[in-house]
Every structure is written in C-alpha cells, then in structure tokens.
Amino acid sequence: MTLLILDLIGILVGILFFGKSFGARSLFAALSFAAFFRLYELFPPVMPSFAQLPWIAALFGGVLLGLGEGILLKNKIASGFDSSIALVVERKFHVPVSLWYLVTDSLVLLASLSYLPIMRLFYTFVTVLVSNSTIALLGINLLPLRGRNSNVIAFLNLPLKEQCMAWSQRIPTLYWRKNQSMESLLWTVEPLTENIP
C-alpha cells in the first residue's frame, strides 16, 4: 500500500512538470507493470535458475532492467515514484536520469547493509551499475547516419510522441540510394526528411 501511495505521489509531481498526458501514460505503465508482475507469479519460471551463477544473473538482469526502464524514460514515461522523480530532477536540475538512479540505488543498498549478506549486496550493485549504464546508453541521441537528411535508425531513435506525429503526417516509403558508398549503406525514409533532425 505504501508503494502504491508513493507511486501516485510521484506521478502527481510528474504531472505538474510534464502535463496530464504524462500522468495517463505513467499510470498505465505502473498498472501494467504491477499486473504483469502478478501474472508472472502465477506461473512456474520459464528460464532456468541462475542462483548458482550470480554474475550472469546480475549482468543479464541489469541489461533487461535497463532496457525496460530506459525505453520508458526515453519517451518521458514513469513506471513509479523513483522514475517520476528522476525525470523531474533531470528536467529541473539537468541531472541525468542514470546518475540520479545510481545515487538513490546506492543509498538504498547502503541502508540494506544492516540485514543483507555482503556478497548479495555486491551482485545487486553490479545489477544497478549495468542497468544504469544501459539507461544512459538509451538516453544518448544517435547522430544521423550519412545519407540524405534522415534514416530509419534516426527515426526509431526519436521519442514516441515525435514518431507518432511524423507517421500521422504521411506514410513513409522506403527506397535505396544506388549511389551510396559501402560505408553509408542504409535504408532512407524519404517523406520524413523535414520531420527528423
């Protein structure tokens, strides 16, 4: 119950900075996360246990956590209290979300020293480092590849709202530039040139 109240407070704070659409998307993300978490608990594990291989569990878990959270954050969607506050801090104080996560997660782990074994904390810290690095990588805006003024990779790197606006204006057609060099081989989306930086 406490976690639900904190999540709602975080989303309300986010609405003050990002508007009502942020609240609707973030509430949907938080409820989806809780619902799927509950659903997965009803079934036996699909993947093998990594209890004997904590390094693999820490690395693999960190990448998956970072990808999931990073995709949400890149599109300005929060899955709960901590991600809402991270987005607000980034907006207000220009502190990268990944750095905010690293500091707050480290503080939580330090507080856990009183009851968790030191090795379990160490592997959890590895997961935190990997997930925050993944979030940081997802936050980097990729420079457009050489070609015309736009390409598929640059388009996919845009935030979700900008993609929807671009797609709604006209349907893109893919074409191949015959005079491209091997280094700049890529598919280009011609109708979106004015929409993609």
- Residues 56, 92, single domain; the answer is yes
Q: What is the pTM of this model?
A: 0.65
Strand partners, 174: 189
CA distance linking residue 157 with residue 197, whole number of Å: 11
- Residues 18, 93, single domain; the answer is yes
- Residues 25, 85, single domain; the answer is yes
CA distance linking residue 60 with residue 194, whole number of Å: 39
Residue 197 within any structural domain of the chain:
no
Helix (H) or strand (E) holding 174: strand 174-175
Phi, psi of 16 (to 5 degrees): -60, -35
Return the closest-CA partner of residue 86 out of 99, 75, 20, 133: 99
- Residues 179, 114, single domain; the answer is no
**pLDDT tens string 136-195:** 888 754 443 344 444 444 544 455 555 445 444 443 433 344 444 444 444 443 333 444
**pLDDT tens string 72-86:** 988 889 988 999 999
- Residues 173, 77, single domain; the answer is no
Give how many domains the chain has, as a whole number: 2
Residue 62 within any structural domain of the chain:
yes
- Residues 36, 73, single domain; the answer is yes
Whether 168 and 179 have beta carbons less than 8 Å apart is answered as no
- Residues 188, 94, single domain; the answer is no
CA distance linking residue 90 with residue 27, whole number of Å: 20
Burial of residue 3 (number of CB atoms within 10 Å: 0-12, 13-18, 19+): exposed
Residue 13 within any structural domain of the chain:
yes
- Residues 133, 179, single domain; the answer is no
- Residues 63, 102, single domain; the answer is yes
- Residues 124, 168, single domain; the answer is no
What range does the domain containing 123 cover? 2-43+52-139
**pLDDT tens string 45-68:** 877 888 889 999 999 999 999 999
Angle between helices 54-74 and 118-139 (to 10 degrees): 30
Does residue 115 surpass a pLDDT of 50? yes
CA distance linking residue 130 with residue 136, whole number of Å: 10
Residue 94 within any structural domain of the chain:
yes
- Residues 127, 102, single domain; the answer is yes
- Residues 160, 188, single domain; the answer is yes
